[in-house]
Amino acid sequence: MDRDQLLNALSMMGLTNREAEVFLTILERGEASVKDILESVDIHQPQLYNILTSLLRRGFIKVSSGRPKLYSAYSLPTIIDTYISTLTSVKELIKGAKRRHHESQRIYMTYGIDGINNGIVEVLNNAEVEVYGEIPVWLLKRNLRSFIETLRRDVRLYLIVYPSLEGVDLSALKDHGDQVWIKVNRLGDFLLLAADLSIGIYASRRSTMRRSDAYGYVLYDTDMLARLMTIFTSTWRESEDALYINPEEGKYPRRFLSMFFAILTIQALLSRGHNPVVIVKGTYLKNGEPVELRGRVSNINMYNRVSNIVLNTGNAQYSIGGYDAELEDIEAREIVIESLN
C-alpha cells in the first residue's frame, strides 16, 4: 500500500489530512521529536502541538517522558483492531436500542456508491433468516466481510453474482456450505439485496457501473420487494450454480420466509427420496384468519409466476401460496421444514 492509499485509509478512520501526514511521518521514522516532524511536514509549530494532542487523545501515538519528548506511533494493525473493536461495541449498543418503525414513508433514496454500500450493509445487519438478491462482483468483494459476518449468525444466503466470480475468495463462504447458494449470471438485472422480505436495497445496473453519480433506493416495502423478487427468481432459474446448498446437510428444523426457496429445498429433498415434514404458518385467504398446519407435501407447482405446494395434513389437503397469493387456500408467511422424513 503506497503513502496516498495510507493517507486515504487514515482519513476513513477520521483523521484530517494534516493529522494523517503527521502520524505517517512518526510511523516512518519510528520515533520523532517536534523538531523532526517540523523538518518533514510543512506545518506551523502551534498547529503541530494541536495535532499531536489530538493523536495522543485518540490513541494513534504515544510519547516519552524525557526531554526532548519523543513521539512514537502504534502499529497500524493495532490501531485497526482497536478501531474495529470500538465500532463493534457501538454497533451492538445501537442494535440494542429500539428501532424506529417506518410507518409512513417506506422508500428512501440514497446517493453515491458509499450510500449504496451503506444500504447493503444495513440489509445484511438486519437479516434474521434469509438474504437474497443480485450483486455485481466488485460490490461483493467490497462487502465480503459483511456477508461472512451475516452467515455467522446462521442466516442463509441466496445470491446471483454478475458477470462472474473472478477474484472472489470463496474459501470463507464454503465454510458455511449448508447456508450459501450462489449462482453466476453474465448480465444480471440490477443490484438487489433483500433480507426477509422486510428491507432491501435496489439500484439499476447502469447506476452501479457509473459509480460517480450512482443512486439507489432503500426499501421498507414488502410489496415492492416481492415484485423485484419475481424478476430475481426468474433470473435465478437461468443462472449457473457456483456454490450450492445441499439440502441433506445442515440443521433442521429450517425456517423459510421465501416461498420460492422453500419449494426449491422441498423439491430437492423429494428428489433424493426424503418425505419432509412441513409446518406452514399463514392466513386463510377466504376469511383472513391465521392458520398453522403440519403435514407432508403431496404436490409442487412451479410454472410462469405460480409457485405453490399442496400440503396433506392427514385430514385434508391445502394449496399453499407465498406472499400475495390469490389462487391458493392459504397465503404462507413462514414455512418450516421440520425434519427430512
Containing structural domain, residue 233? 107-243
Residue 13 lies in a domain: yes
Split at pLDDT 50, 70, 90, the class of 78 is confident
Domain co-membership, 147 together with 226: yes
Residue 132 lies in a domain: yes
For 125, list phi and psi in degrees, rounded to 5: -65, -25
Q: Which residue has the higher pLDDT, 273 or 94?
A: 273
Split at pLDDT 50, 70, 90, the class of 101 is very low
Domain count, the chain: 3
Q: How many helices (H) and strands (E) does the chain have?
A: 12, 16
Contact 149, 92 (CB under 8 A): no
Question: pLDDT tens digits for 229-280?
Answer: 999 999 999 999 999 988 888 789 999 999 999 999 999 999 999 999 999 9
Residue 302 lies in a domain: yes
Split at pLDDT 50, 70, 90, the class of 14 is confident
CATH number of residue 85's parent domain: 1.10.10.10
Domain co-membership, 14 together with 67: yes
Residue 7 lies in a domain: yes
Residue 98 corresponds to which amino acid?
K
Q: Which residues pair with 309 in a beta bridge?
A: 300, 320
Joined grid coordinates for residue 136: 455485481
Domain co-membership, 127 together with 185: yes
- Residue 211, SS3 per DSSP: coil
For 31, left (φ over 0), alpha (ψ -120 to 50), or beta? Answer: beta
Contact 309, 263 (CB under 8 A): yes
The mean of the pLDDT values for the chain is 89
pLDDT at residue number 104: 45
Using CA atoms, how far apart are residues 105 and 78, in angstroms rounded to an integer? 42
Question: What radius of gyration do the chain's Cα atoms show?
Answer: 26
pLDDT at residue number 64: 87
Question: pLDDT tens digits for 115-153?
Answer: 899 999 999 999 999 999 999 999 999 999 999 999 999
CATH number of residue 148's parent domain: 3.30.870.10
pLDDT at residue number 95: 59
Residue 296 lies in a domain: yes
For 276, list phi and psi in degrees, rounded to 5: -65, 145
Question: pLDDT tens digits for 279-293?
Answer: 999 999 999 999 999
Joined grid coordinates for residue 307: 409457485
Q: How far is CA 339 from CA 191, 266, 336, in A?
A: 34, 11, 9
Using CA atoms, how far apart are residues 217 and 110, in angstroms rounded to an integer? 6
Residue 181 lies in a domain: yes
Split at pLDDT 50, 70, 90, the class of 210 is low
Domain co-membership, 314 together with 224: no
The CA-CA-CA angle for residues 139, 144, 148, to 5°, reads 145
Over residues 40-67, the mean pLDDT reads: 90
Residue 99 lies in a domain: no
Split at pLDDT 50, 70, 90, the class of 94 is low
pLDDT at residue number 59: 87
Residue 249 lies in a domain: no
Domain co-membership, 230 together with 112: yes
Q: What percent of the chain has pLDDT over 70?
A: 94
Joined grid coordinates for residue 2: 503506497
| Cβ neighbour number for residue 222 with a 10 Å cutoff | 18
Least trusted range by pLDDT, from 77-81, 82-86, 184-188: 82-86
Among 91, 125, 153, give the residue marking a domain's end: 91
Question: pLDDT tens digits for 158-201?
Answer: 999 999 999 998 888 888 888 999 999 998 899 999 999 999 99
